Structure 1
Amino acid sequence: MKLSYNRTKIVATMGPASAKKEVLLAMIKAGVNVCRLNFSHGKAEDHQKTIDTIREINAQYKVNIGILADLQGPKIRIGLVKDGGIHLVNGKHIDITTKECIGDDNQIYITYTTFPQDVQAGETILLDDGKLQLKVIETNRKDTVKCEVLHGGILTSRKGVNLPNTKVSIPSLTEEDLVNLQFALQNDVEWIGLSFVRTGEDIVDLKRIISQSGKPSKIIAKVEKPEAIDNIDAIIAATDGVMVARGDLGVEMPLEVVPMLQKMIVRKCRAASKPVIVATQMLESMITTPRPTRAEVNDVANSVLDGADAVMLSGETSVGEFPLIVIETMAKIVRNVEESGYPFNAAKEAGAVSVSNYLSNAVCESAVYLAGHTNAAGIVSMTVSGYTAFEISSYRPKASTYIFTSNKTLLNALSLVWGVRAFYYDQLESTDKTITDVNEMLKQENLVEAGEVLINTAAIPIEKQGKTNMLKVTVVE
């Protein structure tokens, strides 16, 4: 199957709009690299069907579409309210209670049991993505918090609650998350998204559970809280990848700081060789119209210019009316920026130097340097852990990056990483034979042609599958 190919990858959220196999297949052909399962919505059986469809497409069409299982995290919501919603009027008082009830003009139920203990007078409560704003007047520290309506409007059932000034005591992994995590791990999902990450410890806790299950799933830390920004270096160090989740981030923090935070996070992730996804409202208007706004087109283009590994779609592909047109549009924007010679390989900032990987990092950096100076068509690497792929990609080389691995989970996981195309290869007789084999495979796939230069990296002796320690410049025969 001939895929359209971007260096910046596209993540699409699955849902009723993209559930049919033929729709998903068309979306993949148009440029989807990773499918996101949003565990805030949908039943386990729906997610199971989606996973089965993706795996079927991978096997049938020899593609490596990755799966990102996005856990809801400690998302706070209000409970059910009376039919037609409640009209919150500016200046009026309303109680928020932890006792379950149907919300009315006097009180609303919140799903966060220790809310009255954690909140202080004067703190802000935002409802429905910040559209409604309340201020805490007093709390009885047991089950009721009295609030004043600052910005009113209609409030309907199950809307999200953001508490930008409150130290929330809910654990990062809720009971429901743990159930969904087991489901994702049983299905060998390549990436797990952790919502509302606050500290590096949150990631460490999740890693512990994943390694106890003996699964190789990698973690995406979703940055959407002020505490995550305060602890950003520790979070990037602990995680495998990051998502700039601009929806909740823009509610929890002042909207105007989000664009510079996005740039800062992307820069730090590149320095640490960790993939970074930019997400939320990228082509939001395309949920209901087949054409994006000019501002949205600019936003996608600027995220590519910032150096993101991937750009993500949410409602546009899960419940929108035009899932395929959305992907085609996004792929066009990405490709246009990439083909117009933008400085995607702007110098990478120096990251923290790790003694254990110092040598292989130097080899990867040299491979990128050499590729630039020999005008190479590709950098071709062998990896089992994927480390080399993440490292080479972080330099955003001009040459294509071709990764060969015998690790099947890694094949799909690398579909998230900038510029990487991964292939399955499991012969480890000798380094020379391997290099000849993989270069020949690229030639058969019409990805390189005779006379072109390739930079090969490998670990010698190859059968030990150790760290990358060798570079070879090859001219394709």
Structure 2
Amino acid sequence: MNPAPASLPKEAYRLTKIIFTLGPASADEKMLEQLILAGVDVCRLNMAHADHAWTRNMIQRVRAVCARTGRHIALLMDVKGPEIRTGDLAAPVELAVDQLIDLLPQPGESEHRILAVSVNYPGLGQDVPVGSTILVDSGLIRLEVVATTPARVRCRVVVAGRLGNRRHINLPGIKVRLPALTAKDRADVALGVAEGIDFFALSFVREADDIDILRRCLTEQGSTARIIAKIEDQSAIANLDEIIAAADAVMVARGDLGIEVPMEELPLIQKRAVDACIRLRKPVIVATHLLESMIQSPVPTRAEVSDIASAVWSTADAIMLSGETTTGRYPLECVQFMKRVAGRIEGSVTKGYNTALPLKTHKDRLLRSAITLAQEIGESGVVVFTRSGLLPQTLSALRATRCPIYAFTDNPHAFRHLLLVWGVEPFLMDFAPQPEETIRGAFAYLLRRGWVQPGDWLVVVTNVLAGEQTIDTIQLRPVE
């Protein structure tokens, strides 16, 4: 097997990974090819807006374009999860301040000419106390609960707006009794497993048990896909450390999260999540509204540029595009702007590494020594060989700047999982029977593809046999 590249030559090296969401604006083969060659690392499929036929077709299309371009990206399926929504109306209704409205979690009729709207969550009447807040349509409409029965939740309109069909409901601070996976989610997961999806993002994770439910579902179907926990409500924030420990990665989904918590808390939560994920050696994604204005505009706002810069400075593993590449007018330009901002910020950071990372084993300390040596040499990098991906993840968690991590693996699953990891350039390559042959093959590939030049020095993390004992080593080797 010739080494399969995940990325472009060294001049395009980027620490922060880019995820784009597939949709009408990006599904065309020509646009897909442009996005892949522009440097996206992961393609997200949002199952809230996709049927199975479209999903299968898109997975095949992405893989075909990857094969044609010779550049491979990972696939992420975003599972819709349990949602609370209003029902259908005969026509949109303009709500007025102080107007009363009844939300009906069970079949019923309006009373005393009060507008009645069905809700798809039967337990709403038991869960929301009088005085609590109900947010509708991304928080554009705010309701205050004034009375409840199991069949009826009477509310007063606090912030008015136009209520349409099937609007999303948020219940800030309320612990709801919804399943982690709906019947639709399980069907979508089965499709994803059959198609070899690399990552599953689970929406509205509230506790670690939600992750365990999806984990069992994947294990039963023989999938090695990684699970990304989406942090979207106050329950997730309260259980953040336990959720991170149970998941393989985390997404700070700032859309619903920004509705559930006061806006001024959002940057603090984002920083807390990023820091915790780095400490626990789990990839973390910053998502939603990074380039929202570019859905219509060919250039971003100054605030959006600063937002991306902040995520890059925090060393989040990945930044994500949603509506910008699904329905936006400028999907390619969005990716290019992300690359420009990330490259500029990363290039401004001096050499260093994460000295606060807990090092639990001697192997951890050896990896720290490897990145310190590479940084002191300058114009160097660390070459590591892995089957599980764990060594590159530890190297990544050290957040060593100006020190590329070249991770070679013979495991296709590990190769694609490493596409999400900060600072790691993964390559898929058969390992030779002799370690020395494998190392030479890796060096030859890096040289052939322009990642290194003759005369460069690389730090190699590998193990050697000393009699019957395997010894971990660091080697300093020239590129010839």
- 1:385 corresponds to 2:388: yes
2:86 to 37, 56, 78: 78
2:101 to 94, 100, 112: 94
After TM superposition, list the pairs within 5 Å mapping 1:255-334 onto structure 2. Answer: 255-334=263-342
Distance 1:192 1:468 in 2: 36
**Residues 154 and 445 of structure 1: is their aligned pair in 2 closer, same or farther, counting only changes over 3 Å?**
same
- 1:238 corresponds to 2:246: yes
- 1:406 corresponds to 2:410: yes
- 1:26 corresponds to 2:34: yes
- The secondary structure found in structure 2 opposite 1:76 is coil
1:181-203 deviation digits (Å, cap 9, x = unpaired): 11111111111101111111211
Q: CA deviation at 1:396?
A: 2.1
Aligned to 2:200: 192
Aligned to 1:422: 426
After TM superposition, list the pairs within 5 Å mapping 1:180-219 onto structure 2. Answer: 180-219=188-227
Q: Which runs of 5+ in 2 are unaligned?
A: 1-6
- The secondary structure found in structure 2 opposite 1:189 is coil
Q: CA deviation at 1:32?
A: 1.1
Report the TM-score, using the length of structure 1 for normalisation.
Answer: 0.93
- 1:452 corresponds to 2:459: no
Q: CA deviation at 1:461?
A: 5.0
**Residues 461 and 343 of structure 1: is their aligned pair in 2 closer, same or farther, counting only changes over 3 Å?**
same
Amino acid at match of 1:118: D
Amino acid at match of 2:121: Y
**Residues 275 and 350 of structure 1: is their aligned pair in 2 closer, same or farther, counting only changes over 3 Å?**
same
**Residues 461 and 211 of structure 1: is their aligned pair in 2 closer, same or farther, counting only changes over 3 Å?**
farther
Q: Judge which range, 22-31 or 56-65, deviates more.
A: 56-65
Aligned to 2:3: none
Q: CA deviation at 1:100?
A: 6.0
Q: Which runs of 5+ in 1 are unaligned?
A: none
* C-alpha contact (below 8 Å) 1:64/1:411 kept by paired residues: no
Distance 2:139 2:326 in 1: 22
Q: CA deviation at 1:342?
A: 2.0
Report the TM-score, using the length of structure 2 for normalisation.
Answer: 0.93
Q: Judge which range, 467-476 or 171-180, deviates more.
A: 467-476
* C-alpha contact (below 8 Å) 2:8/2:39 kept by paired residues: no
Distance 2:159 2:248 in 1: 39
Distance 2:471 2:240 in 1: 29
**Residues 417 and 144 of structure 1: is their aligned pair in 2 closer, same or farther, counting only changes over 3 Å?**
same
After TM superposition, list the pairs within 5 Å mapping 1:34-73 onto structure 2. Answer: 34-73=42-81
Distance 1:17 1:157 in 2: 25
1:76-135 deviation digits (Å, cap 9, x = unpaired): 11121222x111111111100124699996111111121112221111100111111001
1:139 to 139, 148, 160: 148
Aligned to 1:431: 435
Amino acid at match of 1:292: P
* C-alpha contact (below 8 Å) 1:86/1:105 kept by paired residues: no
Aligned residues: 468
* C-alpha contact (below 8 Å) 1:101/1:108 kept by paired residues: no
* C-alpha contact (below 8 Å) 1:402/1:422 kept by paired residues: yes
- 1:6 corresponds to 2:14: yes
Amino acid at match of 1:121: V
Distance 2:344 2:405 in 1: 20
- The secondary structure found in structure 1 opposite 2:186 is helix
Distance 1:468 1:67 in 2: 36
- The secondary structure found in structure 1 opposite 2:339 is helix
* C-alpha contact (below 8 Å) 2:277/2:283 kept by paired residues: yes
Q: CA deviation at 1:258?
A: 0.5
**Residues 384 and 468 of structure 1: is their aligned pair in 2 closer, same or farther, counting only changes over 3 Å?**
farther
* C-alpha contact (below 8 Å) 1:80/1:101 kept by paired residues: no
Distance 2:423 2:231 in 1: 23
Distance 2:233 2:371 in 1: 35
- The secondary structure found in structure 2 opposite 1:469 is strand
Amino acid at match of 1:448: V
**Residues 258 and 240 of structure 1: is their aligned pair in 2 closer, same or farther, counting only changes over 3 Å?**
same
Distance 2:323 2:146 in 1: 36
Aligned to 1:371: 374
Aligned to 2:4: none
- The secondary structure found in structure 2 opposite 1:27 is helix
Q: CA deviation at 1:473?
A: 1.2
Distance 1:296 1:344 in 2: 26
Distance 1:197 1:128 in 2: 20
Distance 1:196 1:467 in 2: 44
Distance 2:351 2:174 in 1: 39
Amino acid at match of 2:389: G
1:308-342 deviation digits (Å, cap 9, x = unpaired): 11110110000111111111111111111122x22
* C-alpha contact (below 8 Å) 2:25/2:327 kept by paired residues: yes
- Compute the RMSD of aligned alpha carbons: 2.2
Aligned to 1:342: 349
